[in-house]
């Protein structure tokens, strides 16, 4: 009989590196030639940001950030192991990795037979030749694509990778759920969402190039609307709830990103907007999520929260509130990170 476990984590890339590089994105943003003079040194930063940077350029804050994130990864992994899913469906963004100029699907289900990938060089595990080889679940992925298409969601699907074995939203989720390196062999069904929208090709789904003014950038068409992704997640949950599978649904992403938040000169994330969305999620106010405007997502640099819109749509369809949630707040480590565990009743 079908059962669904709902989970949400972050895939923050610097977590796979060492503490002295945890603030690497902030250091990059400090190179912005248009950064106002008063923000170029900690003296001009907001008080909380200065405090987190401290006397050691964020090194002790990095250890605390890591401990908070790893603690949540372990709790999430324990929930996954207790549930023992047939496969894990991951909603994650593709940041100009697998999808590039030749095709940007609004969302795409990876119905691959298997996935092969490795952690980046100079990683915190000291691994130089580690290879993860995980099975997919083509039958389930095709069943899901069929169900979505029949319900009017014209889902793209793929049987093999295009430009990249597997984007970091998916691989980092596995590396972090396996942070203690005890192994991870659940089959996976990656479900890529075009979160970066207007910045997916124009900014290569990454940090601004700072080689021209934002007004001179030729932006791409937008990401799918938040309400549509909410409905997509809801339909996904309903289809899987009627299936023969035990499925873990997992959203993989941080929320507001400093490097996407123009109103903060790309220096720190919109923690206030994230906190507000977190409280609505924790309290089960899912309608607020469905009604969240696309413009608000972009203004707050929350492009990646679109992955979580799928998850929240699923929770709404399942009429389920989270059992545990966590919010890891930061000024200097690029993005707010949220966590969620919602097991079946």
Contacts with Fe ion, residue ranges (CB under 5 A): 93
Instruction: Give residues with Cβ within 8 angstroms of 329, minimum separation 6.
Output: 271, 275, 336
Shortest distance in whole angstroms from residue 51 CB to Fe ion: 27
3-state SS assignment for residue 21: helix
CA distance 186 to 136: 9
Shortest distance in whole angstroms from residue 344 CB to Fe ion: 28
* 119 versus 343: smaller Cβ distance to Fe ion: 119
Shortest distance in whole angstroms from residue 75 CB to Fe ion: 21
Instruction: Give residues with Cβ within 8 angstroms of 5, minimum separation 6.
Output: 79, 80, 83, 85, 246, 247, 248, 249, 342, 343, 344
Shortest distance in whole angstroms from residue 190 CB to Fe ion: 13
CA distances from 174 to 134, 155, 178, 250 (A): 10, 24, 6, 11
CA distances from 298 to 75, 199, 205, 270, 292 (A): 31, 10, 13, 11, 11
DSSP secondary structure of 150-210:
HTT---EEESS-SSSSS-HHHHHHHHHHTTT-S-----EEEEEE--SGGGTTTTTTSS---
Other beta carbons within 10 angstroms of residue 40's beta carbon come to: 14
Shortest distance in whole angstroms from residue 41 CB to Fe ion: 28
Shortest distance in whole angstroms from residue 169 CB to Fe ion: 5
Q: Which of 335, 328, 332, 327 is nearest to 300 (CA)?
A: 335
Shortest distance in whole angstroms from residue 304 CB to Fe ion: 5
Shortest distance in whole angstroms from residue 310 CB to Fe ion: 15
Instruction: Give residues with Cβ within 8 angstroms of 193, minimum separation 6.
Output: 91, 92, 93, 94, 106, 107, 223, 224, 229, 306, 307, 310
Report yes or no: 312 and 302 within 8 Å, Cβ to Cβ.
no
* 52 versus 93: smaller Cβ distance to Fe ion: 93
Report yes or no: 257 and 14 within 8 Å, Cβ to Cβ.
no
């Amino acid at each position: 009989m079908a059962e669904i476990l709902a989970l949400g984590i972050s895939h923050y890339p610097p977590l796979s590196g060492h503490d002295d590089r945890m603030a690497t994105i902030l250091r990059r943003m400090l190179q912005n030639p248009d950064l106002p003079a008063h923000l170029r040194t900690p003296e001009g930063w907001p008080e909380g940001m200065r405090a987190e940077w401290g006397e050691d350029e964020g090194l002790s804050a990095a250890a605390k950030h890591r401990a908070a994130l790893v603690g949540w990864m372990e709790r999430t992994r324990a929930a996954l192991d207790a549930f023992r899913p047939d496969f894990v469906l991951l909603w994650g963004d593709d940041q100009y990795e697998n999808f590039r100029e030749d095709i940007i699907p609004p969302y795409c289900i990876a119905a691959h037979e298997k996935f092969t990938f490795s952690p980046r060089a100079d990683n915190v595990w000291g691994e130089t030749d580690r290879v993860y080889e995980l099975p997919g679940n083509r039958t389930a992925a095709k069943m899901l694509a069929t169900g979505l298409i029949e319900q009017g969601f014209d889902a793209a699907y793929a049987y093999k990778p295009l430009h990249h074995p597997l984007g970091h939203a998916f691989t980092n989720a596995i590396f972090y759920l396996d942070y203690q390196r005890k192994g991870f062999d659940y089959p996976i069904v990656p479900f890529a969402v075009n979160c970066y929208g207007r910045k997916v090709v124009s900014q290569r789904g990454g940090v601004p190039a700072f080689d021209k003014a934002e007004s001179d950038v030729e932006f791409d068409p937008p990401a799918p609307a938040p309400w549509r992704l909410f409905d997509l997640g809801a339909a996904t949950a309903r289809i899987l709830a009627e299936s023969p599978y035990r499925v873990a649904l997992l959203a993989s992403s941080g929320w507001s990103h400093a490097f996407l938040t123009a109103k903060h000169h790309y220096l720190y994330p919109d923690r206030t907007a994230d906190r507000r969305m977190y409280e609505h999620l924790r309290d089960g106010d899912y309608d607020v999520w469905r009604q969240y405007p696309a413009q608000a997502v972009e203004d707050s640099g929350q492009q990646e929260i679109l992955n979580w819109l799928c998850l929240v749509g699923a929770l709404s369809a399942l009429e389920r509130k989270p059992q545990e949630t966590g919010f890891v707040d930061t000024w200097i480590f690029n993005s707010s990170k949220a966590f969620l565990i919602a097991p079946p009743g």
